[in-house]
C-alpha cells in the first residue's frame, strides 16, 4: 500500500512539473501559442460517452502492451539481483531467494581493476560536458539567426537544416577518415568534438528565440549602450526552456552513442560505458561473468531513466515544439 501511495505522489509530482513548465514558458509569444499543448485537458467533448465494455477492452490492450514494453527492463532489474550462475536458471522474470544485488555491484566495480567506474565517468564527461557546450553554441547561433540580421543568414540556416537529415552514424565513417588523417583518433577530442555540434539545437533555438525574445528588449539594450553579448545574456534567460530541451536531447544522444566512440577509441580507458559493456558481452561469460555484464547494464541505465522520468514534461514539450510547427 505504501509503495502504491509513493508511486501516486511521484506521478503527482510529474504532473506538477507539467504545470510548472507551462508557467515558465514566456507569455508574450504570439506566433506559436497554438503549438504549445495545454496540459491536463480532456480531449473529447462531454457529449460523447464511452461504454464500459469498450473501456475495459481498450485498457486491456493498453495493459498488455505495457507488459511488453516493461518486461525486458524488469528482466534486467531481476537479473541484476541474482547470484552468479543463477541468471539462467529458475524463473527469469522473478527474484531468486538469494538477493545478490549489492554483491554484484561490488564485483562490477572491482572487475578489471575498476574499469567500470572509469567508463561511467567517461560517459558522464562526454554527455554532460558535450551537452553543455553544444547547448551554448547552438543557442548563440540560433539567437543570431533569429534576431541579428546579416547577409547569408538564410544560407547558413538552410545548410544547418539539411544536416539534421544526415544521420550521425552515416557521418561516423567520414569523421573517422578525417580524424585518422589528422591523428585525432583515440583521443578524448575525437568523441568530444563531434558531440558539441547540434544542428537540431540551432533549429530549435532559432524558432524559440524568434518567438520568445522581443525585439524591443534588444533595441532598448542597444539604446542603453549595452554590448551585444550583454543583451544576449538577458535574452538567453527567455530561451531557457528551449535550452533545457536541447541539453536533454544532446545528453541522451551522447550517452547512448555507440558507433562513433567504438570506432574512434581503441584505448579502453577513454571509452564510454556503452562501448565497454559491449566488449564485455563479447567475452561470452569469461572472465567477466554474464551477471556482471547485466549488472553493469542495469547500473548504466538507472541514471538516464531517472533523469528521463523526472524531466518527462520537458521531453513532451520539446517534441511538441518540433512536431506541430
Partner 1 sequence: MTSRGPPWYAAPANPSTDGVTVSSVTIGRRRRLRELRRAAPFVLPFVLLFIVVYLIPTGYSIAQSLFKEQRSGLGLGGAQTVFAGFGNYLRAFQDSAFIGSLGRVAFIGVIQVPVMLGLALFFALLLDSRVTTPGRRFFRIAYFLPYGLPGVIAALVWSFLYAPTLSPVTRLLSSVGVHVSFVSDAALPFSIMNILTWAWTGYNTILIFAALQAIPEETMEAAALDGCSGWKAALLIKVPLVRPALLLTLVFSIIGTFQLYNEPVTMKAVAPNLESTYTPMMAALRALSANDFNYAAAQSVVLGALICVLSVLVFRFSAKRVDE
Q: Nearest CA to 291 among 77, 83, 75, 71? A: 83
Rounded Cα–Cα distance for residues 185 and 175 (Å) = 10
| The one segment of 20-28, 95-103, 105-113, 304-312 that binds partner 1 by CB under 8 A | 304-312
| Cell 506541430 found at | 324
Nearer to partner 1, 31 or 110 (CB): 31
Q: Which of residues 227-266 bind partner 1 (CB under 8 A)?
A: 228-229, 232, 249, 252-259, 263
Rounded Cα–Cα distance for residues 307 and 133 (Å) = 19
Grid coordinates representing 311 are: 524531466
Contact call for residues 217 and 235 (beta carbons, < 8 A): yes
Q: Which of residues 97-136 bind partner 1 (CB under 8 A)?
A: none
Among 15, 19, 24, 98, binds partner 1 (CB under 8 A): 15
Among 54, 64, 97, 224, binds partner 1 (CB under 8 A): 54
| Cell 577509441 found at | 265
Computed on alpha carbons and rounded to an integer, the radius of gyration of the chain in Å comes to 24
Rounded Cα–Cα distance for residues 119 and 101 (Å) = 20
Among 116, 203, 247, 314, binds partner 1 (CB under 8 A): 203
Phi and psi of 150, rounded to 5°? -150, 155
Minimum CB distance to partner 1, residue 153 (Å): 8
Nearer to partner 1, 104 or 317 (CB): 317
Rounded Cα–Cα distance for residues 87 and 76 (Å) = 10
Among 119, 126, 247, 290, binds partner 1 (CB under 8 A): 290
Per CB under 8 A, 20 contacts partner 1: no
Among 104, 122, 295, 300, binds partner 1 (CB under 8 A): 300
Per CB under 8 A, 168 contacts partner 1: yes
| The one segment of 22-30, 45-53, 99-107, 108-116 that binds partner 1 by CB under 8 A | 45-53
| The one segment of 22-30, 106-114, 145-153, 237-245 that binds partner 1 by CB under 8 A | 145-153
Per CB under 8 A, 174 contacts partner 1: yes
Among 167, 183, 216, 224, binds partner 1 (CB under 8 A): 167
Per CB under 8 A, 141 contacts partner 1: yes
Q: Which of residues 78-97 bind partner 1 (CB under 8 A)?
A: 79, 88, 91-93
Rounded Cα–Cα distance for residues 134 and 199 (Å) = 9
| The one segment of 30-38, 95-103, 109-117, 237-245 that binds partner 1 by CB under 8 A | 30-38
Minimum CB distance to partner 1, residue 200 (Å): 3
Sign of CA dihedral 116, 121, 122, 124: positive
Per CB under 8 A, 271 contacts partner 1: no
| Cell 515544439 found at | 321
| Cis amide bond preceding 227, omega within 30 | no
* Continuous segment of H or E residues that includes residue 315: helix 312-324
Rounded Cα–Cα distance for residues 314 and 241 (Å) = 8
Per CB under 8 A, 216 contacts partner 1: no
Contact call for residues 36 and 25 (beta carbons, < 8 A): yes
Among 98, 117, 305, 310, binds partner 1 (CB under 8 A): 305
Nearer to partner 1, 131 or 270 (CB): 131
| Cell 514494453 found at | 69
Contact call for residues 273 and 262 (beta carbons, < 8 A): no
Per CB under 8 A, 293 contacts partner 1: yes
Amino acid at each position: 500500500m505504501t509503495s502504491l501511495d509513493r508511486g501516486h505522489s511521484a506521478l503527482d509530482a510529474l504532473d506538477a512539473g507539467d504545470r510548472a513548465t507551462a508557467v515558465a514558458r514566456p507569455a508574450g509569444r504570439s506566433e506559436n501559442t497554438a503549438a504549445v499543448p495545454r496540459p491536463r485537458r480532456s480531449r473529447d467533448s462531454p457529449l460523447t460517452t464511452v461504454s464500459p465494455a469498450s473501456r475495459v477492452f481498450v485498457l486491456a490492450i493498453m495493459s498488455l502492451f505495457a507488459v511488453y514494453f516493461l518486461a525486458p527492463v524488469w528482466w534486467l532489474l531481476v537479473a541484476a539481483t541474482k547470484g552468479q550462475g543463477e541468471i539462467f536458471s529458475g524463473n527469469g522474470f522473478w527474484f531468486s531467494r538469494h538477493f545478490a544485488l549489492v554483491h554484484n555491484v561490488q564485483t562490477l566495480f572491482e572487475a578489471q581493476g575498476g574499469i567500470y567506474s572509469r567508463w561511467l565517468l567517461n560517459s558522464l564527461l562526454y554527455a554532460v560536458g558535450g551537452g553543455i557546450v553544444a547547448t551554448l553554441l547552438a543557442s548563440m547561433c540560433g539567437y543570431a539567426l533569429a534576431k541579428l540580421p546579416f547577409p547569408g543568414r538564410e544560407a547558413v540556416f538552410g545548410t544547418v537544416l539539411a544536416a539534421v537529415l544526415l544521420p550521425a552514424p552515416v557521418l561516423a565513417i567520414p569523421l573517422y577518415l578525417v580524424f585518422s588523417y589528422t591523428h585525432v583518433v583515440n583521443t578524448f577530442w575525437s568523441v568530444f568534438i563531434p558531440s558539441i555540434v547540434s544542428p537540431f539545437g540551432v533549429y530549435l533555438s532559432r524558432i524559440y528565440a524568434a518567438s520568445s525574445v522581443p525585439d524591443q528588449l534588444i533595441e532598448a539594450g542597444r539604446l542603453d549602450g549595452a554590448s551585444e553579448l550583454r543583451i544576449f545574456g538577458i535574452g538567453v534567460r527567455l530561451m531557457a526552456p528551449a535550452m533545457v530541451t536541447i541539453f536533454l536531447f544532446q545528453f541522451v544522444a551522447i550517452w547512448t552513442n555507440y558507433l562513433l566512440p567504438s570506432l574512434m577509441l581503441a584505448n579502453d580507458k577513454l571509452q564510454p560505458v556503452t562501448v565497454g559493456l559491449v566488449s564485455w558481452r563479447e567475452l561470452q561469460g569469461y572472465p567477466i561473468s554474464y551477471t556482471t555484464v547485466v549488472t553493469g547494464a542495469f547500473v548504466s541505465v538507472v541514471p538516464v531513466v531517472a533523469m528521463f522520468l523526472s524531466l518527462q514534461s520537458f521531453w513532451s514539450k520539446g517534441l511538441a515544439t518540433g512536431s506541430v510547427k
